[in-house]
Structure 1
Amino acid sequence: MSQTVTLDAIRRAREALDDVLVRTPLLRSRHLSELVGGPVYLKCENVQRTGSYKIRGAYTRISRLSEEERARGVVAASAGNHAQGVALAASLLGCKATIFMPAGAPLPKVEATRAYGAQIIYPGDTVDACLPAAQEYAREHGAVFIHPFDHPDIVAGQGTLGLEILQECPDVRTVVTAVGGGGLASGLGVALKESGFAGSLLGVQAKRAAAFPPSLAVGRPTSVTPSPTMADGIAVGRPGELTFQLVSQHVDSVVTVSEESISRAMLLTLERAKQVVEPAGAASVAALLEHTYAMRPPVVAVLSGGNIDPLLLAKVLRHGLATAGRYMVVRVRLTDRPGALVRLLSELAELGVNVLDVMHERVAARLHLEDAEVVLHLETRGPEHSGEVMGRLRRQGYTVKFN
């Protein structure tokens, strides 16, 4: 792709978005500041309109269409944030939006997209099935396909976030952002570096779906097959042509983070910053936890989105508690006689453990007639407390196994 993106294009996008965007807060994190050894700020795009930064690029792209193009409508393929950004932008600009979503897309994202006025079509079970279906629909109906990241107008819109960061934290030395297809990282790169920013721009991908590191290593966009990851919002199998070019030029490095770090980051942002963030949106904080050495303060970490299904949020937060050593599921064997369960729970109460759930099993092929088994979901104060709990129970003669 020969097109590129300029700082002037981003500034024009900023003017067009002036009455559209929410000016999202830049919050200082005391906990992360102590970890890094200097100021760390969270740029909260999770509270942006539609719950993510995507409205920036979608509105910029659709606003630059001609009246005749808008009259034909726009079409997109997405499981969530891009869908909502396109749907709202189209509604604000008075054109019809058709969104192709996978059949299993989270209901809150589907309902939000529909509430913005979009027509939804389900062509298959994955985003990969939606993309060619959306492009074919665009060709057949003369609609304009709105790419989620690989277009100059999309990148320019996302780049407006970089102008805000420089205005709100002019002495920033490190900016950290999640990377999927590269639209946000590209826009931030142009906005920051062409404005004279001399610090580092760090991109972050989920380790299970990281196409940029191998692509940067060989010097061209390279396809990977993403493994399942909780950070589905950045699980993109191949960088775009334009975004690869811009990331290569303007992003200093792209690192990867584990599922455990992502879940810990979500828990941290909820508990310490009071921000509900989706897994992809927490990737920047995961990088602070896993790659602390790379952070030169002041640091700005972009919380890129907050659209998460409540059921998934509960599951991920429990995973985060487990990786932080504050939640465990154990199976305890005890003698099946009156008062045995009460004594076990009394031991836990003395240790200050919060018992979240108890499943008491007395009849099973693996159990002797005189035995019973209890599965306990326990909340502790951390790894040391968990170790104390396990040690105490075993010293009291219980057979304890992690479930």
Structure 2
Amino acid sequence: MSMIQKIEQAEQRIRPYIRTTPLEHSLPLSRLTGGPVWLKLENFQHTGSFKVRGAMNALLSLTPEQREKGVVTASSGNHGIAVAFGLHTLHIPGMIFTNEGTSSAKVEAIRAYDVPVHFWGTDCVVAEEHARAYAAEHDMVYISPYNDLHVIAGQGTIGVEISQQAQGLVDVVLAALGGGGMISGIASYLKTIFPHVEIIGCSPENSAVMAKSVQAGRILELESLPTLSDGTAGGVEQDAITFPLCQQLVDDYILVSEEEICQAMRLCMQTHHMLIEGAAGVPLAALLKNAQRFRDKNVVIVLCGANVGLETLRTVLY
């Protein structure tokens, strides 16, 4: 089965459990670039993030026997919240591993679904390795935040919605890049429907493992510095299936500073009166940094989530 067939299958499977998020025209950003700029509002999605798409597709793809054994995942926040939402909704037992630096707001959001949270290590890739080993040892199912075809196909349903809402008028898509699950899914679908579309992966300078790995031609082990974009932070598994997908499908990469992310978050709140988290601020910052590059083009920016803690929000605003 091709990836586009997997995405179309995911679209049918998860539709009862997710929202069709708006594609909203941005007047201030369009004036900046001289062409139409649209915001894909995944910050309005259930659980406050696009991650519920991939998590629900993976969970709904389990056999009854796998559901009974239970699910393990690892996450720096949003995937964990999404899996917890799915476990609660589908009445499946499971647990979430996360690293020590995970946002307390995101940890509390996971616990709100009565799903156990365990801390392991200081980087998400270390927590992922431990969670995989735990799942294998206890004969449970492991669901990766990005290194899973069902997850990628679920995230690809964003591309399905964009294609329907934009009616083909898309030249460029800017999306946050961490492990590569979201951008791989979106690109897999949109490049099949609209071969001309340019897909740009956007990462914080402080944690750009996938972007730098693609540049190097191999998955690198790099230290990640603290970043407002905690949803994209951390390492990438060595066997990640998203790596060759990013190599093939992502046309370019833009890195942004912490101050640029901060300014983008503030701009969104000021001009669109919407809360976004750091990862959603990254592609917006990439547009602001390169406005002339996108002149007269139809641009879609994926605002991937809104899960930001109050302490982080205070640092952004003040």
Distance 1:113 1:259, change over 3 A: same
Map of 2:217 onto structure 1: 219
Name the amino acid aligned to 2:139: G
User: What SS is found at the alignment partner of 1:220?
Assistant: coil
User: What SS is found at the alignment partner of 1:17?
Assistant: helix
Name the amino acid aligned to 2:106: K
* Structure with the largest fraction of helix: 2
Distance apart, 1:128 and its partner CA: 4.5
Distance apart, 1:111 and its partner CA: 2.0
Map of 2:246 onto structure 1: 247
Distance apart, 1:123 and its partner CA: 3.4
CA RMSD of the aligned region, Å? 1.7
Q: Deviations over 1:125-181 (max 9, x none)?
A: 553442233223212221111101011111100000001011111211111100000
Name the amino acid aligned to 2:310: P
Map of 1:154 onto structure 2: 151
1:44 aligns to 2:41 (yes or no): yes
Distance 1:197 1:28, change over 3 A: same
1:210 aligns to 2:232 (yes or no): no
Map of 1:192 onto structure 2: 190
Name the amino acid aligned to 1:288: L
Map of 2:50 onto structure 1: 53
Q: Deviations over 1:261-299 (max 9, x none)?
A: 100100011010111011111111001111223325211
Map of 1:92 onto structure 2: 89
CA distance in 2, matches of 1:222, 1:99: 25
User: What SS is found at the alignment partner of 2:206?
Assistant: helix
Distance 1:241 1:106, change over 3 A: closer
Asked if the contact 2:147/2:242 (under 8 Å) is kept, the reply is: yes
Distance 1:28 1:253, change over 3 A: same
Map of 2:284 onto structure 1: 285
Q: Which has the larger radius of gyration?
A: 1
Map of 1:316 onto structure 2: 316
Asked if the contact 1:78/1:100 (under 8 Å) is kept, the reply is: yes
Q: Deviations over 1:41-88 (max 9, x none)?
A: 111101101110000111111111111011111011123101001111
CA distance in 2, matches of 1:103, 1:269: 29
Name the amino acid aligned to 1:63: L
How many residues are paired up? 315
CA distance in 2, matches of 1:75, 1:230: 26
Q: Deviations over 1:10-38 (max 9, x none)?
A: 00000011111111111111111011101
Map 1:2-401 to 2 at 5 A.
Answer: 6-170=3-167, 171-238=169-236, 241-295=240-294, 297-318=297-318
Q: Judge which range, 231-240 or 40-49, deviates more.
A: 231-240
User: What SS is found at the alignment partner of 1:256?
Assistant: strand
Name the amino acid aligned to 2:163: L
CA distance in 2, matches of 1:128, 1:188: 23
User: What SS is found at the alignment partner of 1:305?
Assistant: coil
Q: Judge which range, 298-307 or 137-146, deviates more.
A: 137-146
Distance 1:103 1:202, change over 3 A: closer
Distance apart, 1:107 and its partner CA: 2.9
Asked if the contact 1:5/1:152 (under 8 Å) is kept, the reply is: no
CA distance in 1, matches of 2:2, 2:47: 25
CA distance in 2, matches of 1:111, 1:154: 23
Name the amino acid aligned to 2:54: G
User: What SS is found at the alignment partner of 1:208?
Assistant: coil
Q: Judge which range, 279-288 or 197-206, deviates more.
A: 197-206
CA distance in 2, matches of 1:245, 1:124: 27
Distance apart, 1:124 and its partner CA: 4.4
Asked if the contact 1:90/1:97 (under 8 Å) is kept, the reply is: yes
Distance apart, 1:103 and its partner CA: 4.2
Distance 1:68 1:45, change over 3 A: same
Identity of aligned residues (%): 37
Map of 1:321 onto structure 2: none
Asked if the contact 2:96/2:115 (under 8 Å) is kept, the reply is: yes
Q: Deviations over 1:291-328 (max 9, x none)?
A: 2233252111000011000111111222xxxxxxxxxx
Asked if the contact 1:61/1:154 (under 8 Å) is kept, the reply is: yes
Distance apart, 1:237 and its partner CA: 2.3
Q: Judge which range, 29-38 or 207-216, deviates more.
A: 207-216
Asked if the contact 1:5/1:190 (under 8 Å) is kept, the reply is: no
